Chain A
């Protein structure tokens, strides 16, 4: 019940959308009615287009994210742990962190072509730094007494890294991953809009230029829904992992 109440504003928005479109207050070209959009969504789903393109997109986002999490997390923790690495990579991270990664879309397309590779590379590059920064800050903030305790119980330096630094940094890493997930959707759709032959972003661009706006809106809604679902699922998993924080 409370969950339904929480999303009540969304329902109100949907109703307002439907009424405004049906009453002809705005042109159906600019905003097709929600019911039309849902119909188009059903058709796309039935024809299988949405599924194949969605799968292609999700594969790219997933692969890029997985790489970003693995490399970014390890990099952040090692940067916090080992001074030479921090000194060499710190400035690089600082410079590239604020850079809009969508600027790299043509670059990755140039390197790896129109296929999956360029999207995966782009998402990897774009999503790595938030994870790296989270891991770095988390690992830097590890409590001295915890490290000392582990050492006094016979843990070596590397053992301590795995047993103390990584779990200490975990909350911040997970937060970094959350923003990386959001970012991955942004990068995915924009990359697919510009250089691609399949994927949800490509569908949005293609359907839009073909003038089938209700179908285009259906795909936009799909992307929004996917992003939302991914975030909710992630938050739920995160809460389970961080159960110890009480």
Chain B
């Protein structure tokens, strides 16, 4: 009898250890997943995995013991371990010094415990067959609790950018720390905790449900990039750090250029902002909402235009309007208007393959503007154009922007283009990509001799020197 019990509890210990190992790995995978923003999918995965895990370990456990008393004892032991975990969570929560969050956590925990107790009682009365599920269920409940209540965002790095005072006034506030919530879009979830480094440790600073208070300053900052790092993992070969701890805020209706040598991660940053790549570390918020995927509020153009080749100019421009579900007449009217505005009237029925590079990019810009995004992401849009077309397109883009200002993030490696178009130029350093400097470049575009004026040329020179050093470094890195 004693021998049987001993061997039984030894087996149960092994099962218990395996159980904890399993849940530990699960928890880790989970945090990663949560960091990538796929919370819904992760929760679903864990629920399924939880059922399987509970069934598997429970069955192994029950078979191993096959003795009700030992099974009960082991269950209590494992309950104890899990209880410690719960206490740890509660303490961590409380240490966050946010009473409301802690209270919410405790309420959630209590609810789960009550549900669990009910289940335990029911399964206990039903011949104890399913009692083994109770500790496992409790542990998976705890994992869910941890996901729901532990803060997820990392602290943003201290700003690495050095700022150069500009000759011109800049009415835009840079480096704003808080953000504002307004736009509702399915692809953006409410902001998780995020505070700047000087406000104290971030990871305990709040909950996903926390809505920051809006201030006058906040109303200007629309995009907030904080402590974003990204590692590019080629299918074969070693991972390359593409971005390291990039922080940046962009005001509403500001025109910002991201400038840097090739391989400095400026396009990567744009894709992260677009929600096309998972944000693994750090956070990006738009209008106070965390970016977790592509959304209509952020339009994009690419260097290679990325028009749908099987659609005509009209078809391309209509696509976004169709997704909006507008009535047909209104769609056509808006498309017609936009096509005229970018100077493609008469080419509505041409296919992209029949257009020149400049015309393709005009079409891409019209397509991007069609569904009226707040933010325009432009990835070297004029990089594939010849010099004349390029300067024409720059002027036209500027005219479009001045007519209806939107927030623009413009990626380029052309210094003059950046200085000419943008209000601020963000100079990025080569591998790993970091913000090296933020240079205000607000010039009077009504001056016809602007690009030859002294302040303009000086500013171009200044930025060019910054970029040149980075380009050389990038070359050396490439050669190594």
A167-B308 contact, Cβ under 8 Å, with A244-B353, A245-B353, A246-B354: yes
The answer to whether A154 touches B320, judged by C-beta atoms less than 8 angstroms apart, is yes
The answer to whether A152 touches B323, judged by C-beta atoms less than 8 angstroms apart, is no
| Closest Cβ–Cβ distance, residue B184 to chain A (whole Å) | 14
Q: Which of A228-246 contact B (CB under 8 A)?
A: 243-246
Chain A hits for B370, CB < 8 A: 153
Residue A145 interfacial (CB < 8 Å) = yes
Chain A hits for B373, CB < 8 A: 152
Q: Within the assembled complex, what's the spacing in Å between the Cα atoms of A155 and B321?
A: 11
Chain A hits for B351, CB < 8 A: 243-244, 246
Q: Mark A109-146, 1 if CB is under 8 A from B, else 0.
A: 00000000000000000000000000000000001011
The answer to whether B308 touches A154, judged by C-beta atoms less than 8 angstroms apart, is no
Instruction: Please name the residue on chain B nearest to A144 by beta carbon.
Output: B276
Chain A hits for B323, CB < 8 A: 153-155, 159
A152-B353 contact, Cβ under 8 Å, with A146-B306, A167-B308, A245-B309: no
Chain A hits for B320, CB < 8 A: 153-154
The answer to whether B371 touches A154, judged by C-beta atoms less than 8 angstroms apart, is yes
| Closest Cβ–Cβ distance, residue A165 to chain B (whole Å) | 12
Instruction: Please name the residue on chain B nearest to A154 by beta carbon.
Output: B323
The answer to whether A152 touches B306, judged by C-beta atoms less than 8 angstroms apart, is no
| Closest Cβ–Cβ distance, residue B429 to chain A (whole Å) | 26
Q: Which of B13-21, B102-110, B280-288, B292-300 contacts its partner?
A: B292-300
The answer to whether B306 touches A148, judged by C-beta atoms less than 8 angstroms apart, is yes
Q: Which of A145, A151, A163 has the most B CB atoms < 10 Å from its CB? A: A145
Instruction: Please name the residue on chain B nearest to A156 by beta carbon.
Output: B323
Instruction: Please name the residue on chain B nearest to A150 by beta carbon.
Output: B319
The answer to whether B371 touches A151, judged by C-beta atoms less than 8 angstroms apart, is no
The answer to whether B308 touches A153, judged by C-beta atoms less than 8 angstroms apart, is no
Residue A164 interfacial (CB < 8 Å) = yes
Instruction: Please name the residue on chain A nearest to B294 by beta carbon.
Output: A151
Q: How large is the interface on A (under 10, 10 to 19, 20 to 34, 35 or more residues)?
A: 20 to 34
Q: Which of A154-177 contact B (CB under 8 A)?
A: 154-155, 159, 163-164, 167, 170
Q: Which of A151, A154, A163 has the most B CB atoms < 10 Å from its CB? A: A154
| Closest Cβ–Cβ distance, residue A185 to chain B (whole Å) | 30
Q: Within the assembled complex, what's the spacing in Å between the Cα atoms of A159 and B323?
A: 9
Chain B hits for A212, CB < 8 A: none
The answer to whether B302 touches A149, judged by C-beta atoms less than 8 angstroms apart, is yes
Chain B hits for A155, CB < 8 A: 323
Q: Which of B258-284 contact A (CB under 8 A)?
A: 271, 274-276
The answer to whether B309 touches A244, judged by C-beta atoms less than 8 angstroms apart, is yes
Instruction: Please name the residue on chain A nearest to B185 by beta carbon.
Output: A154
Q: Within the assembled complex, what's the spacing in Å between the Cα atoms of A36 and B139?
A: 87
Instruction: Please name the residue on chain B nearest to A166 by beta carbon.
Output: B310
| Closest Cβ–Cβ distance, residue B374 to chain A (whole Å) | 12
| Closest Cβ–Cβ distance, residue A114 to chain B (whole Å) | 44
| Closest Cβ–Cβ distance, residue B322 to chain A (whole Å) | 9
The answer to whether A148 touches B274, judged by C-beta atoms less than 8 angstroms apart, is yes
The answer to whether B304 touches A145, judged by C-beta atoms less than 8 angstroms apart, is yes
A153-B296 contact, Cβ under 8 Å, with A167-B308, A244-B310, A245-B309: yes
By a beta-carbon cutoff of 8 Å, the part of chain B in contact with chain A is 271, 274-276, 293-296, 298-300, 302, 304, 306, 308-312, 319-320, 323-324, 351-354, 367, 370-371, 373, 377
Q: List 14 A-B contacts (CB under 8 A).
A: A145-B302, A145-B304, A148-B276, A149-B300, A149-B306, A150-B308, A151-B275, A151-B276, A152-B294, A152-B296, A153-B371, A154-B323, A245-B309, A245-B353
* Other A-B pairs beyond A153-B323, A154-B295, A167-B308, 7, CB < 8 Å: A148-B276, A149-B306, A151-B293, A153-B320, A244-B309, A245-B309, A245-B353
